[in-house]
A and B are shown apart, each in its own frame.
Chain A
C-alpha cells in the first residue's frame, strides 16, 4: 500500500470521529498527518498506520472563513 492509499484508508477510519478535523500526507518524507481539534483528540490517532508514521497536529475547529 503506498502512502496515498494508506492516507485514504486512515481517513476513512477517522474522519467521522468527533474531534478529527482532517488528514494529510507528506509523500516525500513518508508520513501521514492527522489534524485534530484539541490535543486530547490525539488519543484517537495511531502512532503508525500500514507501516507509515502518523503525526497528530491540534489545529482547533475549522470553519468557513467569511
Chain B
C-alpha cells in the first residue's frame, strides 16, 4: 500500500490517498481521469474512489477559530463584513482592539457601542460571538478642529482567554508585562491578523495624522509613526518593546504605519494594564528623515522615502 500511495501521489493534481478502501483526493475534476479505476492490492482487484477536494493549504491559524483567545488573531463586528486584530486581553479579562474594528455600525464609519464581537471576523468566515463592545473612543469626522487621540475599544469576553498574551508562532505566545513608551529609533514588535509578527522602527513619537475612510477623514494627535507599514487587517494589534505594550496599531499608508499610544488608550478607555516604570526607552538622537530612510533600508523596503532638503520646490518660509 505504501508503494501504491507513493505512486498515486506522484500523479498531477493528486493531493492525498485514503486507506481502508482506496480513495484518491484530487485538486480538480480534470485530474480524475489520470487515476486508475482499479488497483491490485495483495493480488486482489480493488476499486479506486476519486474525490475532488480542491487545493490543500496550510491552515491560517490567525484567521481561524482560536480558543482560548489570545492577542494577534482575527476579530470583527457582527454588524459589518470586516476583520481586524484582537490586540490583547487585559488584566480584567477584557478585549482591547480598535474602534474601527468593532465600533462601527456600517462601512461609512458611524459609531456604535452595541456591537457584538466575532472571532474570527466575518471577512474571515465569521465565528461565534466571543463578547460585546463595552467602550469605544470616538472622533469627529471631517474636522481638523476636533482631533482624536485614540482609536481603541474595550470589549467584554465570554470565552476562555489568555490574559496579556499575544500569538507569536503557530503554538507559541509572548507575554505583555505592562505598558510604557517607545522613543524615536526604537524597534517595536506587533502581532497582527494579516502579517503576523513583524518588527518596525519608530520614526516619530508626537505626530498629528490625517487618516482616511472612503471620502471621510479624521485627524489624530499624539500618534507614533513607524516603518515599514502595517497591513490592512492588522488594526488592533498591540505594539510592544521587549514585552512592554507601547500602543495599538490603527492606520497606515504604503510607506508608514501608525499606532495610538498606550498611555492615551489607558486614559481614554480604561484598559487595566500595569505601568512599567523605568522601561520607557531613552530617546536616540538622529534625523527623523534619516531614520525613515535607514529603517526602510533595514527592513528591505524597495523604493525609499523622499525627503526635502532641496529635493522639491518649496516655499522658503510660510
Q: Is the CB of A46 within 8 A of B212?
A: no
Q: Does B208 contact A (CB under 8 A)?
A: yes
**Are B151 and A24 in touch, CB under 8 angstroms?**
no
A-B contacts counted at CB < 8 A amount to: 160
Question: In the complex, what's the smallest C-beta–C-beta distance from B122 to chain A, in angstroms?
Answer: 13
> How many residues in A have their beta carbons less than 8 Å from beta carbons of B?
43
B5 interfacial contact with A, CB 8 Å: no
- Assess the B256–A42 pair: CB atoms within 8 A: no
Q: For residue A4, which residues in chain B have a CB less than 8 angstroms away from its CB?
A: 206
Main DSSP-derived SS at the B contact region: loop
B230 close to chain A: CB less than 8 A? yes
Q: Which chain B residues in 231-253 approach chain A with CB under 8 Å?
A: 231-235, 249-253
* B70: Cβ under 8 A from any A Cβ: no
Distance, CA A59 to CA B296, complexed state (A): 12
Instruction: Report yes or no: A10 in contact with B208, Cβ–Cβ below 8 A.
Output: no
Cα distance A22–B68 in the bound complex, in angstroms:
39
Encoded as 1 (CB less than 8 Å from any B CB) or 0, chain A from 41 to 66 comes to 01111111100001111111111111
Q: Which residues of A contact B305 (CB under 8 A)?
A: 57-59
Asked if B40 lies at the interface with its beta carbon under 8 angstroms from chain A, I say no
Q: Among B10-18, B31-39, B128-136, B279-287, which stretch is in contact with chain A?
A: B279-287
Give B contacts to A, CB under 8 Å.
Answer: 82-85, 98, 100-101, 144, 151, 184, 193-194, 204, 206-213, 219, 225, 230-235, 249-258, 283, 285-289, 292, 305-309, 311-318
